[in-house]
């Protein structure tokens, strides 16, 4: 007798056993597949597939030795004479080599991606394995011999070796299609039954029905299969559907680097696209969406025949390019201009290749979103924004899934957060049940987006997803599903926009704050590359317009794209494996050297080298600069207009004071404690102490850090995200202190030690300077430790200001509510500031991003030596690579040598953001000194509140693009000298005339085309 659902666990086991029995009955064994492999350390093309180490691989044996090993595999079998009858389409290869495979056709073109069943994946989202490939007729010769070729990688979906890479499945089978269909019937109904809550009126009768089928079904009897399907078909006649419409699209979120190197991502891309095309053949309703033009570009470069098929599928409406960033970047740490270039390069690629530019931004997996994204996206043609990451909040549930997101300038952007709260949806009945029951805006909008498929490591949907979608919407009480494009969803959903609430400011993620600090070297390199790109573009503009020099368009296009690639949301945040940083940081050395050479060449073309002994200083910033410059071992004085050039001069100066525990100039007196910290900083003009009573500035603190690349120590079961803050802090010990005066520079050089680590720092106070600079070199060797620096200041304010891309944001300094407590660390670019009405203190930095300003303490994270993902990946440590093997079987980030600078800047009043931005830019951007004479007046305009973020050739070659940003919260008017200038959007489409007076609203970005 069948068991009743009331029997509880017994009913579950009976139903589970039914599903397993039907699954196993789908296939009839035909012949084993023999495997020959040619092993290489790195991928080789199909034409060289027999170049590697040859071996026959037996069932149950490993086929390689090291993670990310590669091999070409040949699978062969002889069909038994009696098995050749019947449809060839029913012949299927079942393969699982505990790695990833890309099956290719006879010309070497990818046709199917396969992934091992044991591949790492969240079991709640289903199984990631892809093991079946329909054998095409051309793979079978006249004698019945089957031959298949596949490109193999010894890594699972998430970059791990499972079961030592042993072959677990390699055979030819025939598929019983009627049993396969029954399998998806019972699998879908089982999922529905499990998802229904206790007491639901549908649960008990469905359990009884499934148990009855389990009791009476015989797998060898075709009539039994038909009877079971007929009986269960009654459950797939949903007549009483809710009003909600779920829009579904297949997807394969593919991290361009993470637990695998970039080279493996390129192969994952081929597997993923091949599987999408493979499934199109059998499922005409299937639509697949893919973001990141970089991924398409790799396919164009590496797999031209596959790419041709991709283009055909885009034209046919089967593949939807999603966008439009070049890659899916981190959305906290890149510069504002980097976000513009992400869109420019991404949109241009999609337009040139496919004739389409999506009007929505696709960012499902990024660790928080800065408050200027709405303006950047709206001014680059975006109407909509999609994510789901805030569903990961550790403490406070984000209150909306369909809403207007309002940025710091007031721009609004319609935003949808996936109600299923994943971009790896299983397309199961439980998916639809969750959306129907938990979609926050279900009472104001009947449209929701569901994104399904195997992602993160790529792969995308497979037959199980598509078969479920043919069944689940027909179940009683579940919403209808329309398989279509995201564009179609947004058009339907946006009709309800007037009912949506508004969220103002940033979208802060209450997790992964550690990524603002982890992997310090890649963050430094990114900052230097962004500055270097801007500097080259400015120098090239001057050289091209004044000397006719050829603009380095190809080099800049190539360099920008590579820098944008490394801003990917698992590279720049520091959450990838060691190999990723070994490789990209080596590339940064090359990038920075090329930027320097190209820039130096252009500046040199602008000077008269025949003017003996004269030196010219170039200022690429928008603001005038009057500062000391160290050139060829000597201090010189630069007084140069914004965007101008002037002669480098020798100047008289007051002599600052440096003693063992004292630095002093006209503005500041800095007194050091015996342990090297600052015990007093006296502002001589304001006649007040900068530091809080009893506090010590430049206070290095060392904290045990048992988190990982993403997070500090926490206990999310208790909604505790800041356990590390309760740990006792330790301090390095001062070993040496030397004071000296070097021309206009008063300096104290200090050396601290802690464990096996050494921190060397020169604290500098220049004549006439209003800030104290800290030039630091750390040889960090402490595992599972965090290094921070703190400044308790004599300022009381409820908010602090932080620079973000193209502006700044105010955040609370309080730590009382759950929202305030969850903001344990926040992002900033080059400056943070804590000010009250009459006084304030700013902190500038040249490569840091993680800050905590609570109460009156400005706290900056410097280094985190935590174990990384893929901790078993141990290579030879390099003292300068920012990461080394720890000797305990783990790999720790940030072990090695680091160089960074910061500066403390006290000021009267609530400082103008324009002043803070100008000084922070000067701190980050060295003046350029060139031998020879040249005088250059400032370009086009000058306004203290307006930054020239970029000057570049127009994409269409007509004129020059000027990107201007109001970095303040006030309305600003200025002039632009080019009377013919045209105002454009960020995509450089004209929107109106711009010559003469320009009016900027707070934080406004303007783009002008000048001639």
3-state SS of the chain: helix, strand, coil percent to 5? 30, 30, 40
Q: Pseudo-torsion of CA 104, 105, 107, 110, nearest 10°?
A: -40
Give residue-wise pLDDT tens across range 609-654.
776 789 999 999 999 999 999 988 889 999 999 999 999 988 888 8
How far is Cα 630 from Cα 8, in angstroms, rounded to an integer?
79
Calculate what percentage of the chain has a pLDDT beyond 70. 95
Give residue-wise pLDDT tens across range 512-524.
999 999 999 999 9
CB 152 within 8 A of CB 100: yes
Give residue-wise pLDDT tens across range 701-737.
999 998 999 999 877 667 777 777 888 899 999 999 9
DSSP 87-151: -GGGEEEEEE-SSEEEEE-TTS-EEEEEE-TT----GGG----B-EEEPPGGGB-TTSEEEEEEE
Collapsing DSSP to helix, strand or coil, 545 comes out as helix
- pLDDT at residue 876 greater than cutoff 70: no
Query: What is the arithmetic mean of pLDDT over 677-697?
Result: 97
Considering only residues 939 and 153, tell me which one the structure prediction assigns the higher pLDDT.
153
- pLDDT at residue 406 greater than cutoff 60: yes
Return the pLDDT at 873.
40
- pLDDT at residue 808 greater than cutoff 50: yes
Name the E strands within 820-895. 826-827, 831-835, 839-845, 850-854, 857-864, 883-885, 891-893
- Given pLDDT bands bounded at 50, 70 and 90, which one contains residue 573? very high
- Given pLDDT bands bounded at 50, 70 and 90, which one contains residue 879? very low
Return the pLDDT at 8.
56
Return the pLDDT at 726.
83
Report in angstroms the alpha-carbon separations of 698 from 242, 534, 589, 832: 61, 31, 30, 15
888 CB-near residues (< 8 Å, 6+ apart): 783
Return the pLDDT at 478.
96
Calculate what percentage of the chain has a pLDDT beyond 90. 88
Return the pLDDT at 633.
85
Among 3-17, 151-165, 562-576, the range scoring the smallest mean pLDDT is: 3-17
Query: What is the arithmetic mean of pLDDT over 546-561?
Result: 97
* H helix runs in 170-221, sequence order: 177-195, 203-216
Considering only residues 219 and 509, tell me which one the structure prediction assigns the higher pLDDT.
509
Return the pLDDT at 536.
98
Q: Which residues pair with 928 in a beta bridge?
A: 618
How far is Cα 229 from Cα 207, in angstroms, rounded to an integer?
16
- Given pLDDT bands bounded at 50, 70 and 90, which one contains residue 870? low
- Given pLDDT bands bounded at 50, 70 and 90, which one contains residue 165? very high
Give residue-wise pLDDT tens across range 411-451.
999 999 999 999 999 999 999 999 999 999 999 999 999 99
Return the pLDDT at 713.
84
Give residue-wise pLDDT tens across range 327-354.
999 999 999 999 999 999 999 999 999 9
Query: What is the arithmetic mean of pLDDT over 691-709?
Result: 95
- pLDDT at residue 794 greater than cutoff 90: yes
Return the pLDDT at 997.
86
| CA angle centred on 566, ends 562 and 572, rounded to 5° | 160
Return the pLDDT at 89.
53
Give residue-wise pLDDT tens across range 247-259.
999 999 999 999 9
Give residue-wise pLDDT tens across range 292-308.
999 999 999 999 999 99
How far is Cα 813 from Cα 691, in angstroms, rounded to an integer?
17
- pLDDT at residue 887 greater than cutoff 70: no
- Given pLDDT bands bounded at 50, 70 and 90, which one contains residue 980? confident
């Amino acid at each position: 007798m069948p068991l009743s659902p009331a029997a509880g666990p017994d009913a579950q086991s009976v139903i589970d056993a039914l599903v397993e029995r039907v699954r196993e009955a789908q296939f009839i064994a035909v012949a084993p597949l023999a495997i020959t492999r040619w092993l290489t350390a790195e991928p080789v093309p199909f034409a060289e597939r027999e170049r590697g180490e040859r071996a026959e691989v037996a069932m149950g044996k490993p086929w390689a030795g090291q993670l990310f090993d590669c091999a070409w595999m040949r699978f062969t079998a002889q069909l038994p004479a009696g098995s050749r009858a019947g449809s060839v389409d029913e012949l299927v290869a079942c393969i699982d080599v505990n790695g990833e495979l890309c099956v290719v056709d006879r010309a070497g073109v990818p046709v199917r991606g396969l992934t091992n069943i044991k591949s790492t994946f969240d079991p709640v989202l289903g199984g990631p394995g892809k093991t079946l490939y329909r054998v095409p007729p051309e793979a079978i010769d006249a004698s019945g011999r089957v031959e298949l070729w596949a490109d193999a990688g010894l890594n699972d979906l998430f970059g791990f070796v499972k079961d030592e890479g042993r072959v677990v499945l390699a055979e030819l089978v025939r598929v019983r299609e009627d049993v396969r269909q029954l399998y998806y019937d019972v699998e879908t109904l089982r999922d529905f039954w499990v998802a229904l809550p206790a007491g639901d009126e549908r649960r008990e009768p469905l359990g009884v029905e499934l148990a009855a089928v389990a009791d009476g079904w015989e797998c060898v009897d075709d009539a039994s299969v038909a009877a079971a399907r007929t009986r269960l078909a009654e459950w797939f006649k949903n007549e009483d559907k809710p009003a909600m419409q779920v829009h579904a699209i297949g997807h394969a979120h593919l991290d361009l680097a993470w637990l695998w190197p970039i080279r493996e991502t390129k192969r994952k891309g081929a597997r993923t696209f091949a599987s999408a095309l493979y499934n199109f053949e059998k499922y005409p309703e299937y639509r697949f969406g893919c973001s990141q033009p970089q991924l398409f570009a790799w396919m164009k470069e590496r797999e031209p025949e596959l790419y041709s098929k991709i283009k055909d599928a885009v034209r046919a409406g089967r593949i939807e390019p999603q966008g439009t960033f070049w890659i899916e970047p981190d959305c906290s740490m890149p510069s504002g201009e980097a976000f513009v270039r992400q869109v420019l390069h991404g949109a241009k690629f999609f337009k040139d290749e496919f004739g389409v530019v999506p009007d929505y931004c696709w960012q499902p997996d990024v660790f928080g979103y800065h408050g200027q994204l709405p303006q950047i996206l709206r001014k680059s043609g975006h109407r909509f924004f999609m994510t789901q990451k805030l569903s990961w909040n550790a403490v406070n549930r984000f209150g909306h899934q369909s809403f207007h997101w309002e940025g710091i300038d007031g721009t609004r952007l319609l935003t949808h957060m996936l109600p299923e709260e994943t971009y790896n949806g299983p397309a199961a009945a439980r998916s639809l049940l969750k959306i129907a029951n938990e979609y926050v805006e279900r009472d104001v909008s009947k449209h929701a987006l569901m994104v399904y498929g195997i992602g993160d490591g790529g792969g995308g949907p497979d037959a199980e997803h598509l078969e479920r979608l043919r069944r689940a919407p027909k179940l009683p009480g579940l919403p209808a599903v329309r398989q279509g494009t995201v564009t179609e969803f947004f058009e339907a959903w946006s009709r309800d926009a007037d009912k949506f609430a508004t969220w103002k400011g940033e979208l802060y993620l209450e997790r992964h704050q550690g990524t603002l600090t982890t992997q310090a070297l890649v963050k430094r390199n990114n900052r230097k590359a962004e500055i270097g790109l801007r500097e080259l573009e400015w120098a090239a503009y001057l050289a091209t317009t004044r000397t006719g020099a050829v603009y380095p368009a190809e080099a800049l296009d190539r360099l920008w794209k590579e820098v944008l690639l490394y801003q990917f949301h698992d590279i720049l945040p520091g959450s990838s494996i060691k190999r990723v940083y070994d490789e990209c940081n080596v590339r940064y050395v090359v990038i920075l050297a090329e930027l320097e050479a190209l820039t130096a060449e252009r500046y040199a073309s602008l000077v008269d080298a025949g003017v003996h002994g004269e030196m010219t200083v170039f200022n690429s910033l928008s603001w005038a600069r009057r500062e000391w410059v160290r050139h060829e071992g000597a201090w010189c004085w630069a007084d140069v207009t914004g965007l101008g050039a002037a002669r480098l001069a020798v100047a008289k100066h007051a002599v600052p004071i440096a003693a063992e525990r004292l630095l002093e100039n006209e503005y500041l007196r800095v007194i050091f404690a015996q342990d090297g910290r600052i015990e007093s900083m006296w502002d001589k003009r304001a006649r007040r102490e900068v530091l809080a009573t009893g506090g010590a500035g430049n206070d290095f603190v060392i904290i045990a850090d048992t988190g990982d690349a993403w997070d500090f120590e926490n206990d999310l079961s208790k909604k505790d995200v800041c356990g590390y803050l309760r740990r006792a802090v330790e301090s390095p010990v001062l070993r040496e202190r030397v004071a000296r005066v070097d021309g206009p520079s008063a300096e104290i050089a200090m050396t601290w030690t802690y464990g096996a680590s050494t921190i060397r720092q020169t604290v500098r106070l220049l004549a006439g300077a209003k800030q104290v600079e800290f030039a630091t070199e750390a040889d960090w060797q402490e595992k599972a430790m965090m290094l921070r620096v703190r400044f308790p200041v004599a300022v009381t304010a409820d908010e602090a200001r932080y620079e973000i891309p193209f502006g700044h944001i105010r955040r609370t300094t309080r730590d009382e509510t759950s929202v305030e407590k969850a903001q344990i660390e926040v992002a900033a670019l080059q400056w943070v500031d804590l000010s009250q009405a009459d006084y304030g203190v700013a902190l500038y930095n040249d490569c840091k991003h993680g800050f905590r300003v609570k109460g009156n303490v400005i706290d900056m994270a410097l280094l985190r030596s935590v174990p990384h993902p893929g901790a078993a990946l141990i290579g030879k440590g390099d003292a300068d690579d920012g990461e080394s093997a720890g000797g305990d079987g783990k790999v720790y980030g940030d072990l090695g040598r680091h160089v960074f600078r910061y500066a403390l800047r006290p000021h009267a009043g609530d400082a103008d953001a324009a002043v803070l931005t100008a000084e922070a830019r000067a701190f980050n951007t060295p003046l350029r000194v060139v031998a020879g004479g040249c005088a250059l007046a400032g370009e086009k305009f000058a306004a203290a509140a307006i930054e020239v973020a970029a000057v570049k050739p127009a994409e269409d070659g007509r004129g020059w693009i000027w990107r201007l940003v109001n970095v303040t919260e006030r309305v600003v008017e200025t002039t632009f000298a080019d009377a013919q200038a045209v105002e454009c959007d960020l995509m450089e489409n004209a929107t109106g005339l711009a010559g003469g007076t320009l009016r900027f609203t707070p934080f406004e970005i303007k783009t002008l085309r000048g001639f």
